[in-house]
A and B are shown apart, each in its own frame.
Chain A
Amino acid sequence: MALLEVSDLTVTYRTAGGDVPAVRGVSFALDAGQKLGLAGESGCGKSTMALALLRLLPKTARLTGEIRFDGEDLLTMSWGRLRAVRWAGASIVFQGAMHSLNAVQRIGAQIAEPIRLHSRAGEAAARKRAGELLEHVGLPARRADAYPHELSGGQRQRVMIAMALACDPKLIVADEPTTALDVMIQAQILTLIESLVAEQGISLLMISHDLSVLADTCDRLAVMYAGRIVEEGPAAAVFGAARHPYGQALAAAFPRIGDPASRRRPQGLAGDPPDPAELPPGCAFHPRCAVRLDHCDAVDPSLWPAGSGEGARAACVRVLPDDGLSLVPAAKESA
């Protein structure tokens, strides 16, 4: 059974200017011990979704659909039960570790706090565990006495991971865990996350705009655009042979060094991501799509089996049997 099962999740922000759909019907499943990478550019709804998974969204957000964690629906769960899940079931690692740590508290105390609260361990036991966790993420236990500003960016990110591990979670959601870190530190953190996940059988949902980092770390990839998953499948299949033009653009954004095709030929995607409040008709990607067809503004395709690998799917008319032409009148009627 899947550890995390999201079905038809939508998140809508209510604002003064009307409803803004941030997530528009996302479904995916994550098995125990599996690593799923979620890619997309800023504003595509990937961070909103991460927050939705733990119901950390502001009150102006309206959620529909279902998020089943370990068989329980997180959206209908009581607050008490939700708190327990947040402590012990699933942890989140944010980007920007500086802002997520309390600047005036020693890091050891910050790691020990959830342990003390949750497991009712004594002060000394919690401190000892905090020291162990620090060792576990590659920091000497004596650094527990340090304040966040005394640590480097990479070290702070390690502390964040130690905090996420504090209560032995089954799932870790990592939102851009290595953005703004140097390549070498990024490699250190990714190796650390990978080994921890492998050792303890934790499931990982990693969110990033860098498809190459996700492909390197995760088993499966999902690509989000304008609040929907537009492509998903095994990591190698999505990264190496994406079927959705947006997936292809993301895969090509970071060049393979030594590949003559990308030498002096940076690959980008023209245009800007759409405003979630004013999505284009039909396929939300069509205004930026280099290979769009005439009817792309009339058809909004859903995920369809495409590409190689188990469960590989793409939401593009080009993967449909007849380029999705049969959907055109239907789409116009329903619109």
Chain B
Amino acid sequence: MSESIQSAPILSAEDVHVEFEARRGGGRARAVDGVNLDIAPGEIVALVGESGCGKTTLARTLLGLERPTSGRVLHRGAPLAYTSKALKRFRRDVQLVLQDPSGSLNPRHTVYDAVAEGLRIHGDVPDERERVADALSRAGLRPPERFFLRFPHELSGGQRQRVVIAGALVLEPNVIVADEPVASLDASVRGEILALLLRLRDDLGLAALVVTHDLGLAWNIADRVAVMYLGRIVETGPVEKILTAPEHPYTQALLSVLPEAPGSPVVLQGEPPDPTRIPSGCRFHLRCPVLASSAAAAAGVDDACRGTDPGVLAGGTATQVACHYAVSLAPSEQSP
């Protein structure tokens, strides 16, 4: 994989900020607060974080469904234009798979209609039937003709998600953005859908950004992982490195609470804080176990944790961590 990762990114976020007007005058919510992220052709990147961390907003921004307040989205190196014509062209290349396959299919459309929808929007009519059949069989629904006239409610959850994936594949995109693609599926079906995403990468060179709260999913299929906390990516790098030797205390905590994780779990208390009130200094410092355990003070970074923003991590494929303590332990790794 490492060779393909070196090539120019196909989709990137460049210092993307997305802000929302909070309801009832609660100020502005900084859902995405400065993110650089590159996705190379054929690469599977897992964007991991808790709900409310801004990962879904970032994914929607990368799809052009949300406009960044500042910063930009680059598609094959060119900034994404938000005219309807440019967006339509963009969407042939970058496709979406949502979490809830039951909700992502119009209950009144047959499988055929659901898959052909993209083709019809883009006006590719001539060989519609063959392309729909091809996409369905690539998504593992074989023989495709058997599924043409089925309605979503006649399918199992796994089959529905395959239909959604086929609907994305039919446009022959190069990137898929999948938001929690297996979160609402049964354990036994989960592996099948993940294996499908991996096979699509191997067969078609499809790149994917998989948004998830499930670190096991990242271990199963991703090449690279980016951990997001409160609007920023706090640690990123190859899956083998980040998931086995994490440096950011947040990543460490996430990994420690997994059911079979070795050692005692570090259960962070409280809810992830509110994006309308991002703490100053390191945004994680109020919940940080390293700061609480005075290890940070011993390393002499506690003032920095409370007062200095560790900054926005760069794009690219390098291993990076936005943590004063981790940087103080291994300063050499952070130099570019």
Query: Taking beta carbons and an 8 Å cutoff, which residues of A are in contact with B?
Result: 41-42, 152-155, 180, 182-188, 191, 209-213, 215-216, 249-250, 252-258, 262-270, 272-273
Contacts and interface: CB of A to CB of B under 8 A. Distances in A.
Interface in B197-232: 198, 213-216, 219-221
A313 B247 CA distance: 43
Interface residues of B, number: 43
A41 B188 CA distance: 7
Nearest to B201: A264
B319 interface: no
A191 B267 contact: yes
B190 A253 contact: yes
B219 A272 contact: no
A184 B198 CA distance: 27
A249 B257 contact: no
B258 interface: yes
A283 to B, nearest CB: 16
Contacts of A184: 50, 253-254, 257, 267-268, 272
Contacts of B158: 272
Given A41-B187, A187-B257, A256-B260, A182 B51 contact: yes
Interface string B307-320: 00000000000000
Interface of B: 50-51, 156-159, 183, 186-195, 198, 213-216, 219-221, 239-240, 243-244, 253-255, 257-261, 265, 267-269, 271-272
User: 9 smallest A-B Cβ distances: which pairs?
Assistant: A268-B191, A268-B192, A187-B257, A266-B194, A216-B259, A253-B187, A269-B188, A41-B186, A212-B259
B186 A209 contact: yes
B271 A154 contact: yes
A268 B257 contact: no
Contacts of A155: 271
Given A250-B187, A264-B221, A268-B188, 10 more contacts: A41-B189, A183-B213, A184-B50, A255-B216, A257-B255, A258-B219, A268-B194, A268-B195, A270-B192, A273-B186
Interface centre among B51, B158, B219, B240, by most chain A C-beta atoms within 10 angstroms, is B219
A52 B219 CA distance: 38
Contacts of B260: 212, 215-216, 256
Contacts of A212: 258-260
Interface majority SS (helix, strand, loop, mixed), chain B: helix
Nearest to B194: A266
B243 A264 contact: no
Contacts, number: 117
B156 A152 contact: no
A264 B216 CA distance: 11
B14 to A, nearest CB: 28
A186 B216 CA distance: 15
Contacts of A41: 186-189
A266 B195 contact: yes
A146 to B, nearest CB: 14
A31 B159 CA distance: 40
A250 B188 contact: yes
B257 A183 contact: yes
Nearest to A268: B191
A187 B267 contact: yes
Contacts of B187: 41, 209-211, 250, 253-254
Contacts of A256: 260
Contact of B254 (A152, A183, A188): A183
Contacts of A180: 183
B265 A187 contact: yes
Given A184-B50, A215-B259, A269-B192, A42 B268 contact: no
A268 B182 CA distance: 12
A187 B269 CA distance: 10
A188 B267 contact: yes
Nearest to B257: A187
B271 A152 contact: yes
Nearest to B159: A272
Nearest to A252: B191
